[in-house]
Amino acid sequence: MPTYLITNRVPEDFTPSPEAFAAWTAWFDSLGDAVADRGNPAFAATTAGNCGPGTMLGGYTLITADDLDAAAGWSRTTR
């Protein structure tokens, strides 16, 4: 099964909190066996190209899915 990269973006003014951590943990748990590598948060970053106004890289996740449409569906599940 192919592996897909999800980049996690957060608002530029994002401040980590216990509530945010709990929400991300619940989202990761909802992915179940699709998670190939939970990834890591990003602490320093720069951009190359247009990455969306008002956001910055928050981290990444690797998931496995049957195809790109299925992978995109996982990325749209409620966080």
Please give the structure tokens belonging to residue 55.
């956001």
Helical residues (DSSP H) of 1-79, grouped into ranges: 18-31, 68-75
- pLDDT the model gives residue 21: 86
Give 42: exposed, middle or buried? Use CB within 10 Å, 0-12, 13-18, 19+: middle
- pLDDT the model gives residue 13: 86
Q: Are the beta carbons of 68 and 4 closer than 8 angstroms? A: yes
* Residue-by-residue pLDDT tens, the chain, 79 positions: 888 888 878 888 888 899 988 988 898 888 888 888 887 776 666 555 566 777 777 778 888 888 888 888 877 764 4
Going by the DSSP 8-state scheme, the letter that residue 46 receives in this structure is -
Q: What pTM does this model have?
A: 0.61
- pLDDT the model gives residue 19: 93
Nearest to 65 by CA among 38, 39, 36: 36
